Amino acid sequence: ARIRVAANARDQRVDGEAALRAFDRPALVLCGENDALTPRADHEEMARILPMARLVVLPGCGHMTPLEDPHAVAEALRALLSA
Q: What is the pLDDT of residue 14?
A: 73
65, 32 Cβ separation under 8 angstroms = yes
**Helical segments of the chain, H only:** 2-11, 17-22, 40-49, 65-68, 70-81
CA distances from 51 to 32, 55, 76 (A): 22, 12, 18
Percent of residues, the chain, with pLDDT higher than 70: 84
pTM for this prediction: 0.79
More confident residue, 15 or 78: 78
* Sequence-distant (≥ 6) Cβ neighbours of residue 49 within 8 angstroms: 17, 20, 21
pLDDT average, residue stretch 38-61? 95
Per-residue model confidence (pLDDT) at position 83: 81
